[in-house]
Amino acid sequence: MSLLLLLFLVSYYIGTLGTHTEIKRVAEEKVTLPCHHQLGLPEKDTLDIEWLLTDNEGNQKVVITYSSHHVYNNLTEEQKGRVAFASNFLAGDASLQIEPLKPSDEGRYTCKVKNSGRYVWSYVILKVLVRPSKPKCELEGELTEGSDLTLQCESSSGTKPIVYYWQRIREKEGEDEHLPPKSRIDYNNPGRVLLQNLTMSSSGLYQCTAGNEAGKERCVVRVTVQYVPSIGMVAGAVTGIVAGALLIFLLVWLLIRRKDKERYEEEERPNEIREDAEAPKARLVKPSSSSSGSRSSRSGSSSTRSTANSASRSQRTLSTEAATQPGLATQAYSLVGP
């Protein structure tokens, strides 16, 4: 008999304490917090139902009540118009419905049912999950070949932990969806990925996915790597340009010099005196020949002054030769002048 009484008391105590339930729901959805009892069947006039919320900071407030045949569900400004009994609470289902959920609804809910001195408690721990906000994709670094580039992705809000995942978006057939081989993930900040030693093949679309228990959001960023010539190529190009410029300058200078020389020769040619020109020849006659002298006199009268000067120089030359050569001195010659 005592054993049966003990079992009855234990079952009554358990039923009085109620159960503990944990529920997770995503914000903006609908949730129903269960609470069942059998206390309203004997006497409905004395039935009282009350839902309490203890938030994560330990503050407690009344959510909804039923007392004296009236329902009071506008007790808090935060939950006004969003809470109600989900079913026929007089028949034993005092479950609470909240729609739409907000992050402020998270906490520990207590359902208390009282009737004729009997009590029933039910406890529900509600966790409201918030989807990650749309992440923001950013680039940090130089978009040049051979440089390092950091891909940054972060959501400003959402239930922790938020997991980040980077991948390439295939734009053409055959493109790899994986990150380039020389990529490093910052495990202290999974939203950061370092692309080392960029190449032209690193160009493309990159997508970041931010996810948690509530859902996922994505952002996309385009990477366009710019080609940068090597130092050797730049030096070679500069050297070639300088050499070409010098060659062109030299050719132009030579052409100018040639033109100047030709113009100078054309201007000096009329005034040039040729030193190798043959002097006019003078005819020598004997002094005894009067007829020859007469003819020489007439022909000399028609000669120019230059011929006379040349003949004078020739006479001096012949006189010198006659003095040096005795054989020639036996004959006397005279230059017929004008």
Rounded CA-CA distance 94/109 in Å is: 13
What pLDDT score does 282 carry?
A: 52
- Specify the amino acid at residue 23: I
Rounded CA-CA distance 329/323 in Å is: 7
Pairing mode of beta strands 204-212, 107-115: unpaired
Rounded CA-CA distance 87/231 in Å is: 79
What pLDDT score does 25 carry?
A: 96
Helix (H, G, I), strand (E, B) or coil at 86: coil
Rounded CA-CA distance 93/107 in Å is: 21
What pLDDT score does 38 carry?
A: 82
What pLDDT score does 295 carry?
A: 43
Pairing mode of beta strands 204-212, 215-223: antiparallel
Rounded CA-CA distance 299/295 in Å is: 6
For 181, which DSSP code?
S
What pLDDT score does 291 carry?
A: 43
155 within 8 A of 162, measured Cβ to Cβ: yes
- Specify the amino acid at residue 119: Y
Q: Retrieve residue 34's tokens.
A: 């269960």
Nearest by Cα to 118 from 12, 229, 224:
12
Strand partners for 153: 137
Rounded CA-CA distance 73/51 in Å is: 10
CA atoms within 13 A on the CB side of 16: 10
Mean pLDDT by 10 residues, the chain (338 residues): 41 52 95 87 78 94 93 91 93 94 96 89 96 96 93 95 93 76 86 94 94 96 87 68 87 84 73 54 48 40 42 44 42 41
Helix (H, G, I), strand (E, B) or coil at 57: coil
Q: Dihedral, CA atoms, 320, 326, 327, 332, nearest 10 degrees?
A: 60
248-262: b (≥16 Cβ within 10 Å) or e: eeeeeeeeeeeeeee
What pLDDT score does 240 carry?
A: 83
The pTM assigned to this predicted structure is 0.58
Q: How far is CA 204 from the centre of its chain?
A: 11
Q: Is the peptide bond before 132 cis (omega within 30 degrees of 0)?
A: no
Handedness of CA 82, 97, 46, 112 (dihedral sign): negative
153-172: b (≥16 Cβ within 10 Å) or e: bbbeebbeebebbbebeeee
Q: Retrieve residue 262's tokens.
A: 């030709």
Q: SS3 letters for 183-236? A: EEECCCCCCEEEECCCCHHHCEEEEEEEEECCEEEEEEEEECCECCCCHHHHHH
